[in-house]
Amino acid sequence: MNNSIASLKQYCNSLVQYNRRKTIEVKIGDVPMGGNNPIRVQSMTTIDTMDTIGSVEQTIRMVEAGCEYVRITAPSLKEAQNLAEIKKELRKRGYNVPLVADIHFTPNAAELAARIVEKVRVNPGNYADKKRFENIDYTEASYQTELDRIRDKFTPLIKICKEHGTAMRIGTNHGSLSDRIMSRYGDSPLGMVESALEFLRICEDEQFYNTVVSMKSSNPQVMVQAYRLLVQKLDEGGFKPYPLHLGVTEAGDGEDGRIKSAVGIGTLLEDGLGDTIRVSLTEEPEAEVPVAYTLAKRYDKRANHKNIPEIKHYAINPFEYTRRVTHEVVNIGGEHWVPRVIADLSQREAITQASLFSLGYHYSVPLDKWNITDMACDYVYAGNKLIDFAIPGTLGIIYDYTTWLTQNEKDRVYPLLDVNTFLEGKQLSNALNFVQVSIENVNASLIETLRTNKNIVLVITTDNEHGMAEQRRLMLNIIDADCSAPVIIRRNYVDLSQEELQLHAATDVGALLLDGLGDGIFLSAINCGPEKMLNETAFNILQATRTRISKTEYISCPSCGRTLFDLQETTNKIRVRTNHLKGLKIGIMGCIVNGPGEMADADYGYVGSGPGRITLYKGKEVVRRNIPTEKAVDELVNLIREHGDWVEQEN
């Protein structure tokens, strides 16, 4: 791979100076996107499209919450036709929000909707193709015949959009790539990009440029790589710089959904990519809107950040996950250790056994034992507060250096030093020392000293507003100097709401972890919410980046007018029964649109197949059809048992 900065920078304007990628402006009703317009926020209704008043009222709630475009599903002609009624009623009530028709499988519905609403979203994976899940061996000629067939099916829609001034989104979904794309490119970011480019070429041949593109996946790693690759391929292929619609599909709900979305969307926003955001939560659509604004507003004044030195050589592959190679220090770094979590208790008046409860350690007084949960932190940073009780066997304590010196008992007790103290060659722990550095401190003498001290873990900090880019730049210095010391990413936050903290931390740390950088997370926060939340945020970021799995993962769709059961209620029921199955991925989809493909990423799937009916999947295979909804959760549990993935819940 060519790692010269010239080739890699093509996925964004700059890796060190915040600079939003310049895109063409796309006209969508009265709310243009791209160009110099702000990052737009949008969402999708969840009500049946045939329920005109229900759809209108939900749309109004979304607009009142700040939604700038509203997407509505149009699975067939009758729903596409009803978009006219919804639009008429909205305009009558004084709401001019641009409407977007969401289309899968039905070109005739798209052609009708494009005459009614301001934008049409097509999924290139299923617009002109029916999935048979076949691997087909194409020759150049047979592949071309397929492309010609797509051109014939897709061109009428382009012509209608041109005639009516309707915009279009070519919305690729990782879960629903066509058999043709899968056969040639596999289930990969490249396949996702090519899937969109096939459609974009047809648009450009027709001189139609009112287009937005998206590359969604429920896996933030795949999603980020696909968007980066898309930008590179657009530039390389001489396409116009189309605006990007960012989203992580089936992110789930609550903090999991927020953190997963922030890891994917935030990582791209940091590098100046993205012109509109849709956060997909399994919640009411209006709940998605503030999350999107919180993600976007961080960049309003970002360009004024402190200078970060330019990059000459980029040692990170932004299109493929590779963890940075480090040596092992106790249980940090190396080939085998998952990233560690350091909890900060240094602001407490005093640290007692009860202080550890919120960090995943439950002490039983009668048994005199610690119960350690899957979200138990690995280290506690105590600052200069002394811990005078026996700590759980899996926990390490970190003291400030001067406090550490006063400790007689040094087993699982380690110092945190600043660079100068470290370079002065003072007394160190034989096992493990944490040395805190910022970008200014990484110089030749530090690197030289690190070469001879193999028991050092670097804790990197930043006070730069463009902190992720600065910490990434620091990492590049270390990599280029061939330094293999493990690195803990530390971030400090002050006066944020709980949700802001989760979204900011997921962006700042998640973006580095997705590129294989970082052997641990250390979040310090003042007035941002409880310690328990902070500790769980760290674990959730690791889970979302798939660098450390500590719980069951739910890949649940946000629901829309196609949904065949109550997604929020069902997700909760499934969660109650299965949330102890650490590492298992369960897909919960309202309908089949993304179902089978999305199951590629899930171990088990629960998919609506008709009113009151559920189909269950094991991987991509259908294993039980048409189960009545009342029995489906039990059947899912049975299925998990049959395949040996069930464990009994501990009381």
Binding footprint of ligand SF4 on the chain (CB under 6 A): 557-560, 562-563, 589-591, 593-594
Q: How far is CA 241 from the centre of its chain?
A: 23
Residue 257 or 558 with smaller CB distance to ligand SF4: 558
- Sequence-separated (6 or more) residues with CB below 8 Å from residue 510: 220, 259, 262, 263, 266, 267, 541, 544, 545
Measured from the CB of residue 563, what is the shortest distance to ligand SF4 in angstroms? 4
Measured from the CB of residue 285, what is the shortest distance to ligand SF4 in angstroms? 11
Place of tokens 């099916």: 153
Residue 467 or 597 with smaller CB distance to ligand SF4: 597
Three-state SS at 435: strand
Residue 245 near residue 214 (C-beta atoms within 8 A): yes
Three-state SS at 434: strand
Dihedral angle computed from the Cα positions of residues 88, 92, 98 and 102, in that order, rounded to the nearest 10 degrees: -30
- Sequence-separated (6 or more) residues with CB below 8 Å from residue 581: 552, 640, 645, 646, 647
Residue 392 or 587 with smaller CB distance to ligand SF4: 587
- The Cα–Cα gap between 13 and 271 comes to 8
Measured from the CB of residue 17, what is the shortest distance to ligand SF4 in angstroms? 37
Measured from the CB of residue 639, what is the shortest distance to ligand SF4 in angstroms? 20
Measured from the CB of residue 62, what is the shortest distance to ligand SF4 in angstroms? 15
- Output the six-digit token pair for 245: 């619609």
Three-state SS at 479: helix
Q: What residue is closest to ligand SF4 based on CB? A: 590
Among 280, 275, 325, 321, which Cα is nearest to 296's?
A: 275
Residue 456 or 560 with smaller CB distance to ligand SF4: 560
Residue 80 or 351 with smaller CB distance to ligand SF4: 80
Residue 422 or 606 with smaller CB distance to ligand SF4: 606
DSSP H helices in 40-121: 52-64, 77-92, 107-113
Residue 478 or 593 with smaller CB distance to ligand SF4: 593
Measured from the CB of residue 106, what is the shortest distance to ligand SF4 in angstroms? 12
- The Cα–Cα gap between 510 and 355 comes to 27
- Output the six-digit token pair for 70: 């509203």
- The Cα–Cα gap between 538 and 629 comes to 35
Residue 274 or 590 with smaller CB distance to ligand SF4: 590
Residue 256 near residue 542 (C-beta atoms within 8 A): no
Residue 73 near residue 562 (C-beta atoms within 8 A): yes
Residue 219 or 559 with smaller CB distance to ligand SF4: 559
Measured from the CB of residue 590, what is the shortest distance to ligand SF4 in angstroms? 3
Measured from the CB of residue 558, what is the shortest distance to ligand SF4 in angstroms? 5
Measured from the CB of residue 568, what is the shortest distance to ligand SF4 in angstroms? 12
